Structure 1
Amino acid sequence: MPGSSDAVAPLPVRGRNPTTDLRKMRRIISEDPGWSLALVAPLSELCLQHIVKNFERNPVVDELLPKHRAKVLSGLSPGLPLRVTAGLIGHDDYWRRCCGERWGPCDVSRHGGSWKRLFFERHLQNLIECFIPDLTGPGAILEVAECGRDHVKKLDIQQLLPPVRLEVKKEEETDEASDSGSDAGSELPSMDHFSLRLIAASLAGLEELHLVYGVKGCGMNFEWKLFCFTERDCSDLAGALTLLKNLKVFRLHRSRVQDEAVRVLVASLLDLPSLSRLDLSHNLISDRGARAVGKLVARGHLRALNLCNNNVRHRGAQALAHALSHSNALTALNLRLNRIGDEGAQSLCRALLHNTSLTTLHLGSNELSEPTAAALSQLLSQNTSLQSVSLSCNRIGPDGGKQLLDGVSQNRVLLELDVRLAAAGQESDFLIQQTLRGNRERAGREADRGAPRTGREADRGAPRGPQYSAKSLISQ
């Protein structure tokens, strides 16, 4: 009763609820403090966990229901061996995790929208770029190339490391090595750079190949021998190219490639009918190499050719011009930073009078002057395919600018003419750009109407405004 001295005080909370005392509960429940009847996983969940845990020894994916397959793939480790996952897992969610864990954010659009393709291409690229002849074993590269044979379509190799040659410190040892020819031969590396011939058979589906025979980020350790394309490299690469029958784009730049190497490579490229783009920029190619490339142009499959920053002179340009006059396949030609001179440029202009395929021509920094402007003016008055021409960084001069204006005023297809740093004269440059702006506006209107026309058809169909000659425009 209330107020009675015999009343018993209420029990504390712990006394009223025995489950709050872990010491009492551990007597009747398992020794695992986290165990509870309410947390027992369903049998299906336990089976999925077992599959994930033992996936490397017993991989199971296709036999699962879609919802169970998604759980298994989300629980798999990105570090599983490729020999297990390459042929079995095709779902992009898993490969997206693999790429994100290794490289962070990636642009999958550069790899055909496939995360699996992105992973194999970048993984193989990294292995090749870090390969050191005679120090790194090729086993890992061979395995990845074999596992990704159906997924590697593009390789962008930004460096190829040369072998590390250990210098002998003692003069006596060097003398002994030089005395023995067999010993000297045994000290040579097995290869000068990684040989693509080792994996070419596994990459039969390769469509794009970009190579640099050099070291990136060498900094203060720069030496010319780090950037060298040797005869053995050339032989190995030529042998690999013969096996890449589906190759469409080949780029070998910044590798100090010379004429003899180009001739060997072109002999292999002639057997690749699918090749459409060739980039040999920033090398040491001169006229003999350009003549070899001209044979490839004349074959009629090549669509774009880049020989920027080489040593091509007028004879090499004449060889390319001869090839252009017999081919209507090439659409883009880049000869920037060469030395073709007026003689070579005039040969190209004469050849383009009979060519209806070339749309882009870059002749910047080629020691050109007024004779080239006269030849190009005649070409523009008759050509119906060129849309972009660059003569920047030459010595066209004011008279050459007037001649270019005369040719541009008769052309309704050309959309761009770059005469920056060519001393063509401000007035001529301004009038040229005004004329080209009209061409671009006309092309835009025709594209909007859905009936694009070029050349003489555009001349006949488009309404003509007031016509002016080049001389009358300059006098105004």
Structure 2
Amino acid sequence: MYLTKGKYPAGLNQTWRERATHPRQTRRVLAEDPEWSLAVVPSLANLCLQNIVKHFQEKPILDELLPDHRAYVLEKLSTSLPLSVTANLVSDEAYWKRCCESRWGLCDVSEYGSSWKRMLFERHLENIIELFIPDVTDPESVLEVVPQCQNYVRRLKISQLLPPIREPPKFEEDDSSEFASDVGHEGPSVDHFDFGILLDKLSNLEELQLVYGVNGCGMNFEWNLFEFTFRDCDSLAKALKSCRSLKVLRIHRSKVDDEKCRVLVRSLLDHPSLLELDLSHNLVGDRGARAIGKLLNRSRLERLVVCDNQIRGPGAQALGHALSKNPPLVSLNLRLNRLGDEGGQAMAQALVSNQTLMNLHLGANEMTEPTATALAHALVQNSTLRNLNLACNRLGVDGGKVLEEGMSHNGSLLECDVRLTNISLENQNCISQRLCTNRIRAQCRQTPRASATPQ
């Protein structure tokens, strides 16, 4: 049905009459900005603050503002502003939290001393170093961020270090295929980022963790992607010597052998602040262990981790000799080496005179009954050791009996791991009971006695 002119339904005519009597209800305009309102006109102060936010990169103004105005500007600032502008000007943690979450999503700030600003600068510098390609990346790209982050970086955890890009070999047209297959090609030396240009400028750096390798190389795997060269070692050693604030050094999975270990240790002798050295999952052998033994007596080292290396009996003897002189070392981890009974007995002999070591890990070191016997005699005289790990050794039933006898005369050991050592269940239970008794006594000694107050 079509509507003719002047003839409309009654309800529609009534609606139009209502709109005619109330002209303000004829139209509604919805603003695109939900905060816009005709009744509210921005104040001059708000207009000035909005202009400050808009042109903050060209002319940063913050400290001169009143507290409420400063909070408004910080809330509106873009997280994509250059760090050269915001690094030394903005200290508000809420702003740096927004920056971190915009770059990495959900973040755990507890690992960074609960400081979002520190987190951003540490991860930013780590990312630059991990993507640095020698002979390709300009070293200035690293140096230009140092003035911005040097006051905030306390730890660097470098999960990969890239080598130079190798060019494919080039052969002459008249070379035969058989000859070409036997000829090597000369490319750039397999070096990595030179920490000598950086570490001496990070005056607050306390922890450095390095892996000389590549993450996720996939089908492009080559051994030279995981090679810690002598040139790398020499440059890193010089950089470590200049970094006087360093407290923790970790170099993992980087093929650190005896020679490289000796070069690194030589630079760490008499270091004023180093407290922890971790060379796990490398190729350190007896010569490297001898160098580390010298380091124990010429440093403030409290924790040493050399698990999963190639240290045998002679290397353990060198470490034991150093321990007998009571260095400040508190924790020693020798798990997954090849000490054997020669090395195990050397460690036990060191415990007789040592009065500083509290944690000793000797797991998976091919030790048998003679080591258990030597440790049993040492535990009778040692009153300092708190944790001893002997798991995954072949101590045997007789070794378990001797170890239990030694434990019965020890009142200081609180933990002793004897899993997978082939000792009897009865001996394990007796050792556990003795450890429980020691823990109860230690807790009683630490609990202050309630002093009677006069009424």
Normalising to structure 2: TM-score of the pair?
0.88
Aligned partner letter, 1:224 = W
* 8 A contact 2:257–2:282 mirrored in 1: yes
* 8 A contact 2:331–2:357 mirrored in 1: yes
Mean Cα deviation higher: 128-137 or 384-393: 128-137
Q: Judging changes above 3 Å, is the alpha-carbon distance between structure 1 residues 11 and 336 closer, same or farther for their aligned structure 2 residues?
A: closer
Once the two structures are TM-superposed, the CA of residue 355 in structure 1 deviates from its matched residue by: 1.0
Q: Judging changes above 3 Å, is the alpha-carbon distance between structure 1 residues 71 and 431 closer, same or farther for their aligned structure 2 residues?
A: same
1:51 aligns to what? 52
Does structure 1 residue 142 correspond to structure 2 residue 147?
A: no
Once the two structures are TM-superposed, the CA of residue 202 in structure 1 deviates from its matched residue by: 2.1
2:323 aligns to what? 324
Once the two structures are TM-superposed, the CA of residue 215 in structure 1 deviates from its matched residue by: 1.4
Q: Judging changes above 3 Å, is the alpha-carbon distance between structure 1 residues 111 and 287 closer, same or farther for their aligned structure 2 residues?
A: same
Once the two structures are TM-superposed, the CA of residue 139 in structure 1 deviates from its matched residue by: 3.0
- 3-state SS of the aligned residue for 1:38? coil
Separation in structure 2 between the aligned mates of residue 279 and residue 436 of structure 1, nearest angstrom? 29
Matches within 5 A, 1:325-404: 325-404=324-403
Aligned partner letter, 1:398 = V
Q: Judging changes above 3 Å, is the alpha-carbon distance between structure 1 residues 88 and 450 closer, same or farther for their aligned structure 2 residues?
A: farther
- 3-state SS of the aligned residue for 1:168? coil
Separation in structure 2 between the aligned mates of residue 204 and residue 325 of structure 1, nearest angstrom? 35
- Counting matched residue pairs gives 426
Flag structure 1 segments of 5+ consecutive residues without an equivalent.
1-8, 26-31, 176-183, 452-476
2:262 aligns to what? 263
Separation in structure 1 between the aligned mates of residue 22 and residue 333 of structure 2, nearest angstrom? 86
Separation in structure 2 between the aligned mates of residue 228 and residue 322 of structure 1, nearest angstrom? 32
CA distances 1:195-244 after superposition (whole Å, capped 9, x unpaired): 11121232121000000001122344433222111011101111211221
Separation in structure 1 between the aligned mates of residue 236 and residue 37 of structure 2, nearest angstrom? 65
Once the two structures are TM-superposed, the CA of residue 327 in structure 1 deviates from its matched residue by: 2.8
Separation in structure 2 between the aligned mates of residue 325 and residue 428 of structure 1, nearest angstrom? 29
Flag structure 2 segments of 5+ consecutive residues without an equivalent.
1-13, 177-184, 451-455
Aligned partner letter, 1:188 = P
CA distances 1:10-35 after superposition (whole Å, capped 9, x unpaired): 97344344445669x9xxxxxx9x98
2:232 aligns to what? 233
1:436 aligns to what? 435
1:93 aligns to what? 94
1:152 aligns to what? 153
CA distances 1:257-293 after superposition (whole Å, capped 9, x unpaired): 1111111111111142100000001000001111111
1:274 aligns to what? 273
Aligned partner letter, 1:343 = E
* 8 A contact 2:275–2:302 mirrored in 1: yes
Once the two structures are TM-superposed, the CA of residue 396 in structure 1 deviates from its matched residue by: 0.6
Aligned partner letter, 2:147 = E
Once the two structures are TM-superposed, the CA of residue 171 in structure 1 deviates from its matched residue by: 4.3
* 8 A contact 1:328–1:356 mirrored in 2: no
Once the two structures are TM-superposed, the CA of residue 322 in structure 1 deviates from its matched residue by: 1.2
Q: Judging changes above 3 Å, is the alpha-carbon distance between structure 1 residues 325 and 36 closer, same or farther for their aligned structure 2 residues?
A: closer
Does structure 1 residue 12 correspond to structure 2 residue 17?
A: yes
Does structure 1 residue 84 correspond to structure 2 residue 85?
A: yes
Identity %: 54
Separation in structure 1 between the aligned mates of residue 151 and residue 449 of structure 2, nearest angstrom? 39
* 8 A contact 1:300–1:327 mirrored in 2: no
Separation in structure 2 between the aligned mates of residue 225 and residue 80 of structure 1, nearest angstrom? 39
* 8 A contact 1:204–1:243 mirrored in 2: no
* 8 A contact 1:297–1:330 mirrored in 2: yes
- 3-state SS of the aligned residue for 2:259? helix
1:6 aligns to what? none
Aligned partner letter, 1:237 = L
* 8 A contact 1:168–1:174 mirrored in 2: no
Separation in structure 2 between the aligned mates of residue 21 and residue 414 of structure 1, nearest angstrom? 88
Does structure 1 residue 121 correspond to structure 2 residue 122?
A: yes
- 3-state SS of the aligned residue for 1:159? coil
2:200 aligns to what? 201
Separation in structure 1 between the aligned mates of residue 390 and residue 223 of structure 2, nearest angstrom? 32
* 8 A contact 2:164–2:188 mirrored in 1: no
1:248 aligns to what? 247
* 8 A contact 2:326–2:355 mirrored in 1: no
Q: Judging changes above 3 Å, is the alpha-carbon distance between structure 1 residues 22 and 135 closer, same or farther for their aligned structure 2 residues?
A: farther
Separation in structure 1 between the aligned mates of residue 312 and residue 443 of structure 2, nearest angstrom? 38
Aligned partner letter, 1:358 = L
Q: Judging changes above 3 Å, is the alpha-carbon distance between structure 1 residues 393 and 53 closer, same or farther for their aligned structure 2 residues?
A: same
Separation in structure 2 between the aligned mates of residue 174 and residue 303 of structure 1, nearest angstrom? 60
Once the two structures are TM-superposed, the CA of residue 170 in structure 1 deviates from its matched residue by: 4.4
2:105 aligns to what? 104
Separation in structure 1 between the aligned mates of residue 323 and residue 216 of structure 2, nearest angstrom? 39
1:188 aligns to what? 188
CA distances 1:439-472 after superposition (whole Å, capped 9, x unpaired): 1222233333379xxxxxxxxxxxxxxxxxxxxx
1:472 aligns to what? none
Separation in structure 1 between the aligned mates of residue 195 and residue 56 of structure 2, nearest angstrom? 33
Separation in structure 1 between the aligned mates of residue 37 and residue 205 of structure 2, nearest angstrom? 56
Aligned partner letter, 1:206 = L
* 8 A contact 2:271–2:299 mirrored in 1: no
Once the two structures are TM-superposed, the CA of residue 37 in structure 1 deviates from its matched residue by: 4.5
RMSD (Å) for aligned C-alpha atoms: 2.5
Normalising to structure 1: TM-score of the pair?
0.84
Q: Judging changes above 3 Å, is the alpha-carbon distance between structure 1 residues 290 and 43 closer, same or farther for their aligned structure 2 residues?
A: same
